[in-house]
Amino acid sequence: MAIFKGAGVALVTPMKENLEVDYDKLAEILEDQIQNGTDSIIIVGTTGEASTLTIEEHLEVIRAAVSIVNKRIPVIAGTGSNCTKTAVDLSYQAQLAGADGLLVVTPYYNKATQKGLISHYTEIAKKVDIPIILYNVPGRTGCKIAPETAAALARDVDNIVGMKDAVGDISYTLRLMEQVQGDFDLYSGEDGQVIPLLACGGIGVISVLSNIAPRFTHDMVMNYLNGNREEALRMQLKALPLVDALFCEVNPIPVKAAMNLLGWEVGPLRAPLSEMEPENKKRLAKAMEEFGLLGSGK
């Protein structure tokens, strides 16, 4: 059984001006996401600035999200690392904290072989009982899970249940789904390719867009899954200019800027991320206005 179907939000981690995590703001954002139909919370992933949180902060944000959400929808914790032992420890602690599932990115920088990836993920999965979603984003990590590797993991490891596919190549996705032969949960990791991934057999998206348009993103996915595919495609096409603006600089720079434009006050970014360039921020604001976000409140 899938951890979730629909739209999961790859949630930002709000910061105070002094760059401490703002847990009060986190609670406010989580409540809004739930009220607006988001189907799952993905906490401390790429969008949540996991790479610049300390281990203690990382786990505390997971604990806070689990407590606030209180089983109303699934909470999936990002627990990947380029060190297998660190990923194992984070995953085990996330399970103890009450996470419903894990999102585990490929080990970045090391550029593991496919044999190394199988060993890495198998070692993590042996230490936890909750389901694991592989996170395949070679543009960030320099490491790509081959379709055959995903199929071997899905076949041989009971709690490896799916993939967040951010490869950006539909041919790869089709080969993946041919290899896994059915019982494998595919989630789009690209907000500009949600409907194409669903057409390949996907069941949802892990979305940056959901931070600022949660109801829209949920409705787009559910329209497709419920058979209203023309409307789902119309919504995907409508979202494209906004999605392009949300990724005109490296994520999560633009989405945090967008949330601040909407009045969420999610604070600054931790270095080495920097604030959005003025010309790109104007482009983002224009896209948000044309989409219908600015001027209408949260």
Going from the first residue of the chain to its last (298 residues), give the mean pLDDT of each consecutive group of 10, the final group possibly shorter.
Answer: 95 98 98 98 98 97 98 98 97 98 96 97 98 97 97 97 97 97 94 98 98 98 98 98 98 98 97 97 98 73
- Residue 183: what pLDDT? 85
Nearest to 161 by CA among 206, 126, 131, 121: 131
In a domain, residue 77? The reply is yes
Q: What are phi and psi of 62, to 5 degrees?
A: -60, -50
Question: For 81, left (φ over 0), alpha (ψ -120 to 50), or beta?
Answer: beta
Reply yes or no on whether 164 is catalytic: yes
In a domain, residue 143? The reply is yes
- Residue 221: what pLDDT? 98
Looking at the structure of the chain, the number of domains it has is: 1
What 3-state class would DSSP assign to 294? coil
The answer to whether 87 touches 80, Cβ cutoff 8 Å, is yes
The answer to whether 143 touches 114, Cβ cutoff 8 Å, is no
In a domain, residue 115? The reply is yes
In a domain, residue 170? The reply is yes
Specify the CATH number for the domain of residue 150: 3.20.20.70
Q: Which of 25, 121, 144, 164 is catalytic?
A: 164
In a domain, residue 154? The reply is yes
User: Which parts of 115-268 are beta strand (E)?
Assistant: 132-136, 160-165, 185-188, 204-207
Q: Is the dihedral of CA 155, 158, 164, 166 positive or negative?
A: negative
What are the Cα distances from residue 150, in Å, to 39, 142, 244?
Answer: 25, 17, 29
In a domain, residue 62? The reply is yes
Nearest to 9 by CA among 60, 76, 92, 88: 76
Nearest to 14 by CA among 213, 277, 254, 260: 260
- Residue 298: what pLDDT? 42
Q: Which of 25, 121, 135, 172 is catalytic?
A: 135
- Residue 182: what pLDDT? 84
Distance from the Cα of residue 171 to its chain's centroid: 21
Residue range(s) defining the domain that contains residue 199: 6-228
In a domain, residue 296? The reply is no
Contacts of 280 (CB under 8 A, 6+ apart): 245, 248, 249, 254
Instruction: Give the single-character DSSP code of 270.
Output: -
144 vs 141: CA distance, rounded Å: 8
Q: What predicted TM-score, i.e. pTM, was given to this entire model?
A: 0.96
- Residue 297: what pLDDT? 42
In a domain, residue 168? The reply is yes
Reply yes or no on whether 144 is catalytic: no
Amino acid letter at 16? K
